[in-house]
Structures are given as C-alpha cells and as structure tokens.
Amino acid sequence: MKKLYFGSNLKMYKTIRETTEYLISLASLTGDISREEIELFIIPSYTSLERASAAIDHNLIKLGAQNMCWEEQGQFTGEISPLMLQEAGLDLVMIGHSERRHVFRETDEEENRKVKCALEHGFTALLCIGETAEDKKYGAGPEVLRMQLKKGFYEVDPSHIGKIWVAYEPVWSIGVSGTPASADYAEKMHKEIKQCLLELFPEQGAGIPVLYGGSVNPGNAEELIVQPSIDGLFVGRAAWQADKFNTLIRSAMKAAGR
Ligand code: 13P
C-alpha cells in the first residue's frame, strides 16, 4: 500500500511559541499513527525553525523551510542559506510555492537552482507547481505544469530522486479567495504530472510523491485522497489547529482504507 503524505505550510502565521505548541500537540495527537503508513511534515516560518526542530521528534514530524537561497553565502541581503537551514536540523525545503512565484516574482530558472542546491545539501526538495486561472481558461494547464517540471528539474541528478516531492497547487485554488479543485480535475492534472515525471526520470519517476494543495478542507479531503494519482494532501488554513489537522488526517486515512 502506498504511503500517504500530509503536510502544512504555516505561511506567515504563528509566533515561535505558537509554532512549538502546535507541533508538540500535533506530534502527540498523531503519535499512534504508524509512520510506515504516513509521512507528516510541517513548514513553519524561519524564526520558529531552530526552536521547533529541537522540540519535536523528526520521526513523527518532518520539518521544512518555506524557501532557500541557491548560494551558501554571499551578498544576498534577506536570503537564507542552505548551511543556515542545515544548522537548524531541517528535513526539507519547499521551493516555488505559488506565493513565491506570483507575489515575489520568482522564476522557473530560480526554482531550478534552489532545487539543485537543496538536494546537494541533503534536503528533500518539495517543488510546488500550478497553473493560474488564466492558464486554465485557455486549457493550457497541462503545458504550464510540464514547463514548470521540466525547468524545475532541469539537470537534476537522478540519484536524488528519492528526495524529490512535488506539490500540485493550482494558483486559483489557494487561500481565502481560492476555489478548491474538484477531485476529478485534480486527478487529471496529477496524471499529467506523473506522466511528465516518468518522461523526465524514466527509471525512478514513478516513485516521486505528488501531493494536492489548495483549499483542502474536511469536506473535500476524503474525495481527494482516494484518487489514484494523489499521494497526499498539502494543507494551509484547515491544518493550522492541531486537533483539526489530526481529524482531517484520520478521516482521509479512513477513506483511503487505512
Ligand atoms: P490553503 O489550504 O489555505 O488554500 O493553502 C494551501 C497552500 O498554500 C499550501 O501550501
């Protein structure tokens, strides 16, 4: 049976104390669920990382950063280096979140440099991709996703494949003004993504987990997780209270026959 992935990006929410309390509570609430069955990860703000990393058992919850510079050091005011993230004992780095691409104008070329740098420094690289509402209107979603994957994983050494995760987060589905993708639509796009990953990495591409994100909530988590090409749920708002996230994870697992 495939492993199910559940994670949350805390965006620019929660203080250091709130993050630590949230993580301790989530670890305790979900502690009885076998980590052979699920992978649980949380991506808090930079300032919370060091304290959070020391406070939790990384076998229960993997910890990630929301972004990272592609250089180890240098004249990059406001950026965070992979060496600094290694010091915090992190497991993964998220790259190319929709808000990084669309609010902060990051490009596919930059995401590619970050992906390669994260992998070279031993992190799991979680590459986020997704089409805009305009791309969707013109029926260009699959082409946009393919472009983001081809550029994002350009010249990535296949030996790193075990440490690559992909999150499909359609831009129009994210956040307070987002509309969740239907399970059918999400499954269709996940199939495209998986096909493209196989073309990019013929030997190992099938093993890359692809998670759905964008207005996941207790009302749609079950129908999303049962789709054959959806390996996990990447949740924002609906995961930011530990008890609610625990309930969502359990109902999704139940729907998936666990
Ligand atoms: P929401 O679930 O709040 O739409 O956010 C999803 C997201 O951006 C996860 O990275």
Give the residue-averaged pLDDT of 74-95.
97
| Residue pair 108/147 in contact by the 8 Å Cβ criterion | yes
Distance between CA atoms of residues 144 and 203, nearest Å: 24
Distance between CA atoms of residues 54 and 37, nearest Å: 24
pLDDT per residue as tens digits for the range 33-50: 999 999 999 999 999 999
Residues with CB under 6 A from ligand 1: 9, 97, 169, 174-175, 178, 213-216, 234-238
**What pLDDT is recorded for position 136?**
97
Name 126's bridge partners. Answer: 94, 165
Q: How far is the CA of 214 from the centre of ligand 1 (A)?
A: 5
**Predicted confidence band at 21 (pLDDT cuts at 50, 70, 90)?**
very high
Share of the chain above pLDDT 70, in %: 100
**Predicted confidence band at 1 (pLDDT cuts at 50, 70, 90)?**
confident
Residue 23 has pLDDT above 90, yes or no: yes
Pocket test for ligand 1, best of 9, 102, 173 (most atoms within 8 A of CB): 9
Residue 106 has pLDDT above 90, yes or no: yes
pLDDT, averaged across the chain: 97
Residue 226 has pLDDT above 90, yes or no: yes
**What pLDDT is recorded for position 137?**
97
**Predicted confidence band at 235 (pLDDT cuts at 50, 70, 90)?**
very high
Share of the chain above pLDDT 90, in %: 98
Looking at the whole model, is its pTM more than 0.85?
Answer: yes
Pocket test for ligand 1, best of 42, 92, 165, 235 (most atoms within 8 A of CB): 235
Give the residue-averaged pLDDT of 149-153.
98
- Burial code (b: 16+ CB inside 10 Å, e: under 16) for 182-217 equals ebeebbbbbbbbbebbeebbeebbeebbbbbbbbbb
Residue nearest to atom 5 of ligand 1 (CA): 236
Structure tokens at 190: 């996940």
Name 233's bridge partners. Answer: 6, 212
Residue 227 has pLDDT above 90, yes or no: yes
Give the residue-averaged pLDDT of 20-43.
98
Q: Catalytic residue numbers?
A: 97, 169
Q: How far is the CA of 10 from the centre of ligand 1 (A)?
A: 9
